[in-house]
């Protein structure tokens, strides 16, 4: 089945489930020169008069090098429960150590020149607008900081405009 571009305002997805339960693949770069990681933290909404997503990447992740270098990235979402094994593998292995995408058996495709996954049923192509390293002193409630960053490896926050939405 081919991807079809739709308006962001046509989406009826529950992003609480899509991101938090079903997970997504965050992929900066073009096919043949990309890296991907499974993500289960993020937001989708409206900011600066634009449809945006917010994603979080730890500095030690190989994907961090790619998202820092690239202007754009994709978020690939899959049907609930589908490709869970592949998503677990892509979230637990580093692309530094080998071709984890090939090992997962997923098919990289290009949407607007950005790598995404053919098996996805929703892809957002995004352009970075803002990035900032999380700072421990900015936590109003220190409990999330203590629970999620015992090693001090705070995420980099990326806010990106959703430029294109593709569905199957």
Domains of the chain from N-terminus onward:
4-167 (2.30.110.10)
Give pLDDT, residue 10: 97
Burial class (CB in 10 A: 0-12, 13-18, 19+), 126: buried
State pLDDT tens for residues 109-146. Answer: 999 999 999 999 999 999 999 999 999 999 999 999 99
Q: Low-confidence residues of the chain, pLDDT below 70?
A: none
Give pLDDT, residue 94: 93
Give pLDDT, residue 121: 97
Give pLDDT, residue 164: 98
Q: Where are the beta strands (DSSP E) in 78-121?
A: 108-111, 114-117
Give pLDDT, residue 1: 76
């Amino acid at each position: 089945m081919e991807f079809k571009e739709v308006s962001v305002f046509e989406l009826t997805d529950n992003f609480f489930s899509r991101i938090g339960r079903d997970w997504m693949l965050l992929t900066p770069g073009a096919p043949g020169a990309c890296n991907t990681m499974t993500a289960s933290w993020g937001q989708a909404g409206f900011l600066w008069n634009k449809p945006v997503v917010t994603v979080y990447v730890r500095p030690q992740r190989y994907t961090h090098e790619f998202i820092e270098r690239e202007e754009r990235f994709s978020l690939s979402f899959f049907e609930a429960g589908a490709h869970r094994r592949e998503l677990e593998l892509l979230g637990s292995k580093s692309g530094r150590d080998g071709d984890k995408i090939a090992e997962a058996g997923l098919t990289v495709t290009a949407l607007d020149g950005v790598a995404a996954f053919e098996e996805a049923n929703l892809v957002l192509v995004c352009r970075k607008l803002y990035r900032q390293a999380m700072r421990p002193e900015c936590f109003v409630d220190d409990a999330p900081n203590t629970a999620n960053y015992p090693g001090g490896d705070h995420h980099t926050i990326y806010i990106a405009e959703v430029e294109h939405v593709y569905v199957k």
